[in-house]
Amino acid sequence: MRLAKYLAITGCCSRRAATRLIRDGQVIFNDRLANHVDSVTLIDTPEGQRCQEHVIVNGELIQAVEAKAYWLFNKAVGTDSRLLAELPNSLIHLLPVSPRLYPVGRLDKDSHGLLLLTNDGELTHQLMHPDFGHSKTYHVQVDRPFDEVFLANMAAGVSYKGVTTLPCTITRLDVDRYEIILTQGLNRQIRRMSHALGFKVIDLKRISIQSLQLGNLLEGSMRPLSSTELADLLASVAAN
């Protein structure tokens, strides 16, 4: 198994993050700097699967593959999704010590709603990689009423900063509120799309990722996914 994939299944990080760590020289493989073609050999131990090779990431020895965990979190405005211990408002201060959980993607500090927390690096890779086109649904309020032209332009794709967004599904909720379903994950995409058309986003809430729904989970709270939620999520990912 390639080293980046192994790091992902241990729960250390996503596969994409593992690739970056290897590139940046932060992974030691058998007492040397790792490279992208390194592979590991998995063995079964009483603690779970682990590799025969000696792998260290950022000074930490990677132990056996951790049991997979999947949690739902309702992020509040002001919580920073980056796991940086030096930030007092970082999500890292809200996470349990065990299991080790990481957010699948980010919600910017000014946004709120659903975050999926997991140590399943393969699922994270599938949900985050743009080639898979998985859907995420948001409820958005802008600073003034909009017309049908705005909705049509948003749905068709908006150009800003040298990119044009993919077509998306958008539905009016109120005179100044809309629901938007994206299969693309550009940085601050909804805010920049709206701004390019002359509107400022004043509230942005993510309510679903694929089949996973935020529901009535209280803001700032988290819980494990039910077996049904997990099965539905995995099935929806596999279907794409």
Of the two residues 51 and 226, the one the predictor is more confident about is 226
| In the predicted structure, residue 128 carries a pLDDT above the cut 90 | no
Average pLDDT value for residue range 74-92? 93
| In the predicted structure, residue 48 carries a pLDDT above the cut 70 | no
**Average pLDDT value for the chain:** 91
Average pLDDT value for residue range 160-180? 96
The residue whose two tokens read 């729904």 is: 213
Give pLDDT, residue 47.
Answer: 62
Which residues are designated catalytic?
108
Q: Which two tokens stand for residue 133?
A: 């086109």
Domain ranges for the chain, please list them: 3-61, 70-130+211-239, 135-209
- State the CATH architecture for 70-130+211-239: 2-Layer Sandwich (3.30)
CATH code: domain 3-61 is: 3.10.290.10
Average pLDDT value for residue range 46-75? 84
69 within 8 A of 104, measured Cβ to Cβ: no
Whether the domain at 70-130+211-239 and the domain at 135-209 fall into the same CATH topology: yes
Residue 124's closest CA among 40, 204, 237, 220?
A: 237
DSSP classification of residue 120: -
Query: Phi and psi dihedrals of 113, rounded to 5?
Result: 115, -150
Q: Radius of gyration of the chain from Cα atoms?
A: 20
CATH code: domain 135-209 is: 3.30.70.1560
Q: Which two tokens stand for residue 182?
A: 């994206």
For the stretch 146-159, pLDDT in tens is 999 999 999 999 99
